[in-house]
């Protein structure tokens, strides 16, 4: 379970996929149901991550969805909202909204359009956001995902931000796919700093190194098993639990990730509408869906209680 300790999060969090209606508008009701199911599986909610197609949603759409989740009584203590946008003013507005609603964390991408920007420029960017939001409850988890954003967050920048804002910059999601980078973060032993692996692939290693858990796309389909490894990482079964997680992940990741997660949820909830993605992504074709589901079933995969 993603838990709050000294107002810092840990555990397994899920970058919740965002359901769309036929007209491509986001569907708050399906999202609420999905979040409830995820919480029932003991994982926390990282809404508006990369796998949420968050960057294909406007600020207004994200604020509306947050409002609806909160109105539905979804526990904001278990909620980390992705709030980092290209534009400073958008990031401020969305972060303010999330903090005011009581979200326990903000998962923050750096501004990602301009490339080759300096650490000084990125520091100025995060700093402006923090000062402008100006809220003592703001807890930022830096989102390092250079394969997608192409703008990364260096160790030196993290250290500088922690020094300047020790009660605000409290963690990181490392989606570099580079264990050496995650490990280097852990080795710094920053005070109570929460290092989340960006995928369950590194969950066991991360826990052994003192990490806080993982925030992983696959938690959309395999939450309970990932949470089990988080809880039992010191057990004798840990290695085999990790191996089982890897097999399911590899099976799903044989297809484009977001469409594959949505196709899987669509199948196991018997709700084809879940397959819809927003451009520029494309939904899996019918034959791809069937092949994906068949290969998951072959592994004994199921999503109990879904739908």
Q: 106 to each of 76, 141, 257, how far by Cα in Å?
A: 11, 6, 23
Size of the site for its own copies (CB under 8 A): 40
Q: Given the complex with its own copies, which of 149 and 182 has the nearer CB atom?
A: 149
Q: Does 120 bind its own copies (CB under 8 A)?
A: yes
Q: Which residues pair with 79 in a beta bridge?
A: 45
Q: Does 66 bind its own copies (CB under 8 A)?
A: no
Out of 22, 115, 136, 180, which residue is the one contacting its own copies (CB under 8 A)?
Answer: 115
In 3-state terms the chain splits into helix, strand, coil percentages (rounded to 5) of: 50, 15, 35
Out of 278, 288, 293, 295, which residue is the one contacting its own copies (CB under 8 A)?
Answer: 278
C-alpha dihedral over 33, 35, 39, 40, to 10 degrees? 20
Q: 55 to each of 96, 151, 156, 215, 278, how far by Cα in Å?
A: 18, 15, 26, 17, 10
Instruction: Report DSSP letters for 177-193, one per residue.
Output: S-HHHHHHHHHTT-TT-
The secondary structure of residue 74, as a DSSP letter, is -
Q: Does 93 bind its own copies (CB under 8 A)?
A: yes
Contacts of 89 (CB under 8 A, 6+ apart): none
User: Judged by CB under 8 A, which stretch of 107-115, 162-170, 221-229, 245-253 contacts its own copies?
Assistant: 107-115
Out of 280, 287, 298, 304, which residue is the one contacting its own copies (CB under 8 A)?
Answer: 280
Q: Given the complex with its own copies, which of 151 and 212 has the nearer CB atom?
A: 151
Q: Does 125 bind its own copies (CB under 8 A)?
A: yes
Judge contact between 101 and 67, C-beta under 8 A. yes
Rg (CA), the chain: 18
CA angle 269-273-277, nearest 5°? 115
Distance in Å, CB of 96 to its own copies, minimum: 13
Distance in Å, CB of 26 to its own copies, minimum: 9
Q: Does 58 bind its own copies (CB under 8 A)?
A: yes
Q: Does 56 bind its own copies (CB under 8 A)?
A: yes
Q: 262 to each of 55, 201, 307, how far by Cα in Å?
A: 17, 20, 13
Out of 1, 33, 55, 165, which residue is the one contacting its own copies (CB under 8 A)?
Answer: 55
Q: Does 102 bind its own copies (CB under 8 A)?
A: no
User: Judged by CB under 8 A, which stretch of 85-93, 97-105, 203-211, 217-225 contacts its own copies?
Assistant: 85-93
Q: Does 86 bind its own copies (CB under 8 A)?
A: yes
Q: Does 148 bind its own copies (CB under 8 A)?
A: yes
Q: Does 154 bind its own copies (CB under 8 A)?
A: no
- Give residues in contact with its own copies (CB under 8 A): 24, 50, 55-61, 86-90, 93, 110-115, 117-118, 120-122, 124-125, 127-128, 147-151, 278-282
């Amino acid at each position: 379970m993603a838990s709050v300790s000294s107002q810092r999060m840990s555990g397994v969090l899920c970058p919740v996929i965002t359901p769309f209606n036929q007209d491509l508008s986001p569907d708050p009701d399906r999202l609420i149901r999905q979040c409830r199911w995820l919480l029932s599986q003991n994982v926390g909610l990282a809404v508006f991550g990369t796998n949420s197609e968050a960057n294909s949603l406007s600020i207004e759409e994200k604020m509306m969805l947050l409002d609806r989740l909160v109105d539905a009584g979804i526990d904001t203590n278990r909620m980390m909202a992705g709030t980092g946008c290209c534009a400073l003013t958008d990031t401020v507005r969305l972060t303010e909204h999330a903090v005011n609603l009581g979200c326990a964390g903000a998962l923050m991408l750096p501004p990602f359009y301009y490339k080759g920007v300096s650490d000084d420029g990125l520091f100025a960017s995060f700093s402006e956001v923090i000062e402008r939001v100006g809220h003592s409850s703001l807890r930022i988890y830096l989102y390092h995902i250079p394969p997608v954003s192409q703008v990364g967050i260096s160790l030196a920048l993290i250290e500088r931000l922690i020094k300047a804002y020790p009660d605000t910059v409290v963690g990181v999601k490392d989606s570099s796919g580079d264990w050496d980078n995650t490990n280097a973060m852990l080795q710094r032993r920053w005070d109570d700093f929460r290092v989340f692996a960006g995928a369950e692939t590194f969950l066991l290693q991360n826990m052994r190194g003192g990490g806080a858990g993982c925030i992983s796309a696959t938690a959309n389909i395999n939450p309970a098993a990932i949470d089990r490894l988080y809880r039992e990482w010191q057990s004798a079964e840990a290695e085999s639990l990790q191996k089982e997680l890897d097999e399911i992940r590899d099976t799903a990741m044989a297809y484009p990730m977001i469409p594959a997660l949505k196709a899987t949820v669509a199948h196991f909830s018997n709700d084809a509408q879940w397959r819809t993605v927003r451009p520029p992504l494309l939904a899996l074709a019918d034959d791809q869906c069937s092949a994906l589901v068949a290969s998951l079933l072959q592994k004994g995969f199921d999503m109990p209680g879904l739908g």
